[in-house]
Amino acid sequence: MTRIIRLTLSLILLSSLAGCSTWFTGQFDDPEIELVKIEVERARLTDQLFHLTFRIDNPNPVSVPVRGMVYSVHLNGMKLADGESSDWFTVPAHSRHTFKVPVRTNLWRHLKKVVRMLEKPDRPISYQLQAEIKTGLLFGRKVQLLRNGEIIPGDYIPE
């Protein structure tokens, strides 16, 4: 008898969880993410520290908790950085949130390409951002994204 009760309760619990997960995924729009700014914090010969500023837009009527991001950034086809951010934050409903990710890299082997990119600071540099955002708390969801855009180095170089 207790075995039947346990089995029945387990089935009810599992079926209710499945219903909740389809309810959350049915109306969920993927958040939009954009690379807003690249700041040079420190630039040494063999070690560079950048701060990448990202903006996440939440088009959903409920807040979206973000548990981290795995990313890769390329400038004109050259890998600038890849890594993982483990910052936790919540993006309110129909709102946006900006956050910074510190990135360490070594561009020594790409020095000629970087110098050529910066020779004409008014010429745009194309970037490609590949990222996987981890959202949700109990029922996590991974949002894959690929963004292409351009930045103009002259906007970030102090005169």
The CA distance from 115 to 127, in Å, is: 16
> What is residue 20's predicted lDDT score, i.e. its pLDDT?
42
* Res. 97 pLDDT band, cuts 50 70 90: very high
**CATH tag for 31-155 (out of 1.20.1280.50, 1.10.1660.10, 2.30.40.10, 2.60.40.10):** 2.60.40.10
Three-class SS state of 143? strand
Q: Are 99 and 54 in contact (CB under 8 A)?
A: yes
Phi first, then psi, for residue 25 (nearest 5°) are -85, -15
The number of residues in the chain equals 159
> What is residue 19's predicted lDDT score, i.e. its pLDDT?
38
Mean of all residue pLDDT scores within the chain: 79
The CA distance from 72 to 146, in Å, is: 10
Higher pLDDT, 6 or 44: 44
The CA distance from 89 to 92, in Å, is: 10
Three-class SS state of 152? coil
Domain ranges of the chain: 1-28, 31-155
The CA distance from 136 to 133, in Å, is: 10
Cα–Cα nearest to 132, from 68, 70, 73: 70
> What is residue 18's predicted lDDT score, i.e. its pLDDT?
42
The CA distance from 62 to 77, in Å, is: 37
